[in-house]
Amino acid sequence: MMSLFGGKTNAYNAKVKALEPFRVHVQEDDELTTNQGLKIVDNQNSLRAGPRGPTLLEDFILREKITHFDHERIPERVVHARGAAAHGYFQVYESLAPLTRAKFLQDPSKITPVFVRFSTVGGSRGSADTVRDVRGFATKFYTEEGNFDLVGNNMPIFFIQDAIKFPDFVHSVKVRLECGL
Per-residue pLDDT of the chain (181 residues; tens, 9 = 90+): 444 445 556 667 787 788 888 877 766 667 888 888 888 888 888 899 988 888 898 999 999 988 888 787 766 556 666 778 899 999 999 999 999 999 999 999 999 999 999 887 766 666 666 666 677 888 999 999 999 998 887 776 666 677 788 787 777 777 666 666 6
Query: Cα torsion at 11, 26, 180, 62 (round to 10°)?
Result: 120
Helices (H), 9-138: 9-19, 60-70
Q: Which residues lie across from 83 on neighbouring strands? A: 119
Q: How far apart are CA 47 and CA 54, in angstroms?
A: 9
Supply the pTM of this predicted model: 0.56
Active site members? 80, 153
User: Cβ(41)–Cβ(32) under 8 Å?
Assistant: yes
